[in-house]
Chain A
Amino acid sequence: MKVILPDQSVRLMEDGPGTVGALLHEIGANPLEVIVSRNGKLVPEQAAIGGDDEIRIVRIAHGG
């Protein structure tokens, strides 16, 4: 599984954490501050991930 982090760095994971929520927990991201796509489609925290999935995590909180 390929995970693209908010800073655009890429992490390859062989045994994924199972769900989007678990992945966010693992990398220390608050689910309310990011949106996550799986193979280009938006998915909620409860969605299953793994295998050849490409996961992109985008930070949404901006501005002062």
Chain B
Amino acid sequence: MTRSGSSGSRTGDRIVEPRAARGESPACACCGEPAVVYQPVTRLHLCGTHLVRDVEERVLATIQETGQIYPGDRIAVGLSGGKDSTALLVILSRLLPTWPGASLVAITVDEGIAGYRADTMRAAESLTERLGVEHRIVSFRELIGNDLDTLLTGRETQACTICGILRKKALADAARAAGATAIATGHNLDDEAQSVLMNAFRGDLPRLVRTTGTGTSTAFLPRIKPLMAIPEKEIASYLFVQDLFSVLPECPYTKYALRAEIRTLLSDYECHHPGTMQHLIESKRTIERYCAGTPVMEPLHRCRECGDPCSGDLCQVCRFRRSLGK
């Protein structure tokens, strides 16, 4: 089953005209079985079998079109245990034979968030065991000497910024230690569109066009996002129809995140104007092309304390360390 743009046309499987289906559900556009999901952009209904196939085909197409994985690669998968990283690990483990000699290692970062992390950690351990994927766990306590809850005392409103900086560093260090050639994260279409809008709202053009994906810089391990074309709802549905979806607790710091506001705004807009998120991504790519090689792309420096790549004298982790008096 393949897709052709957003017109909804498909080849490979015969498209069946919608009809009343058993159990009063719309029928799958490919086989006529009861549909489990509706794709507003293509205006197609799909059953569980065809949804799984469609998602995995689109992920493979994204990886191949953007050169994210090659034979012999060792991919470090950031595995929080939530739905996106769970789907990512499941899909990559199924697609792995596409790249001879390639291997996976899952890395879970334990931030130290009481009442939240324990469930997702257990989910991550259970998944890697089931898939037979090597699993490494690293923690903020090892990285910076304390758990996130303690680090955030008196600065809770900065939770997502601080957590993001530390998590990125912990994941990169663990990936290097595991001999990885790239880091894969579970960012989906919604996440990517939200980031574009957040950076536009902040007027942060350098961040908008910055990419650590498949560029030529040797300073970073390439960070790849195989799920970046898949809407969040389809990822949850992909897991649900395979009995892989778990209801997990929500991070207690979400309420402080600007992203939460952007998410609501954007999903309301996408609901009324399907395709909006994809259009935002396309706009970002156009801006990236115009900005290539211009002063907007900030030159990379090395942190004078830890040597990590950064845009100023000190990397964000060392700056945070200093703010703690360490």
Interface residues of A (CB under 8 A from B): 30-33, 35, 37-38, 41-48, 58, 60-64
In the complex, per-residue mask of B56-82: 1 if CB is within 8 Å of any chain A CB, else 0: 000000000000000000000000101
Query: How far does the Cβ of A54 sit from chain B's closest Cβ, in whole Å?
Result: 13
Binds A, one of B168-176, B201-209, B235-243: B235-243
Query: How far does the Cβ of B228 sit from chain A's closest Cβ, in whole Å?
Result: 16
Q: Chain A residues near B245 (CB, 8 Å)?
A: 35, 58
Q: Chain A residues near B271 (CB, 8 Å)?
A: 30-32
Q: Is A63 a contact partner of B82 (Cβ separation < 8 A)? A: yes
- Chain B residue at minimal CB-CB distance from A33: B267
A45 to B43, CA, bound (A): 12
A62 to B256, CA, bound (A): 13
Q: Is the interface of B mostly helix, strand, loop or mixed?
A: helix
Q: Is A60 a contact partner of B83 (Cβ separation < 8 A)? A: yes
- Known A-B contacts A35-B233, A62-B254, A64-B259; the reply to A42 vs B240 at CB < 8 A is yes
Q: Chain A residues near B248 (CB, 8 Å)?
A: 62
Task: Tell me the B99-158 residues at the A interface (CB within 8 Å).
Answer: none
Of the candidates A37, A44, A63, A64, which one forms a contact with B45 in the assembled complex, judged by CB atoms under 8 Å apart? A44
Q: B163 near A: Cβ within 8 Å?
A: yes
- Known A-B contacts A32-B233, A33-B267; the reply to A42 vs B257 at CB < 8 A is no
Query: How far does the Cβ of A58 sit from chain B's closest Cβ, in whole Å?
Result: 6
Q: Is B247 a contact partner of A58 (Cβ separation < 8 A)? A: yes
Binds A, one of B34-42, B285-293, B295-303: B34-42
- Chain A residue at minimal CB-CB distance from B84: A63
Q: Is B24 a contact partner of A62 (Cβ separation < 8 A)? A: no
Q: Chain B residues near A35 (CB, 8 Å)?
A: 233, 236-237, 240, 245
Task: Tell me the B175-193 residues at the A interface (CB within 8 Å).
Answer: 190
- Known A-B contacts A32-B270, A46-B38, A46-B45; the reply to A60 vs B254 at CB < 8 A is no
Task: Tell me the B23-48 residues at the A interface (CB within 8 Å).
Answer: 23-26, 34-38, 45, 48
Q: Chain A residues near B256 (CB, 8 Å)?
A: 64
Q: B251 near A: Cβ within 8 Å?
A: yes
